[in-house]
Amino acid sequence: MLQQPSKNVRQYLIVTGNYWNFTLTDGALRMLVVLYFYQLGYGALDIALLFLFYEFFGVITNLFGGWLGAKWGLNRTMNIGLAMQIIALSMLLLPASTLSIPWGMAAQALSGIAKDLNKMSAKSAIKTLVPKNASGTLYQ
């Protein structure tokens, strides 16, 4: 008979499952944008430029993410990241004829912010699950 996992193990499983699911949806969003604009005839450089906002807003989020995590808490920043990712994915639910470059870039920007909020929260949350006297075990 299996025992119920401890609270720390349950938290670890929730955070890890959340991060894995987020990684799948983030990759799917980027692939949808790439394939859609490729199908429209855009070249590789044009498509790569669509991701400028994604990367730029990711950098901005990383600059302020630690402060947000300390102010609002890791759980809240993770949930905000998940909500923003849902909004970014929902932005692509419009009819294909209405999708434009600025709209795709805005969806990517929102997704970049969401990704870095989620990543920062997940990595920091794992650190809180390790006992204080065993912090070196994270790197083994």
pLDDT, tens digit, 9 for 90 and up, residues 12-54: 788 888 888 888 888 888 888 888 889 989 999 988 888 888 8
What are 128's two structure tokens?
Answer: 């809180």
Residue 135 binned pLDDT confidence (cut-offs 50, 70, 90)? low
Band of residue 1 on the pLDDT scale cut at 50, 70, 90: low
Q: Please report the pLDDT score of residue 136 as a whole number.
A: 64
Does the pTM exceed 0.85?
A: no
Residue 2 inside a domain? The answer is no
Please state the domain count of the chain. Answer: 1
Selection from 105, 115, 112, 113 nearest residue 36 by Cα: 105
Any domain includes 99: yes
Q: Is residue 134 part of a domain?
A: no
Does residue 139 belong to any structural domain of this protein? no
Let me know if residue 1 belongs to a domain: no
Q: Which residues contact 78 (CB under 8 A, 6 or more apart)?
A: 15, 18, 117, 118, 121, 122, 125
Residue 39 lies in a domain: yes
Look up the domain containing 39 and give its range.
Answer: 8-128
**pLDDT higher than threshold 70 for residue 80:** yes
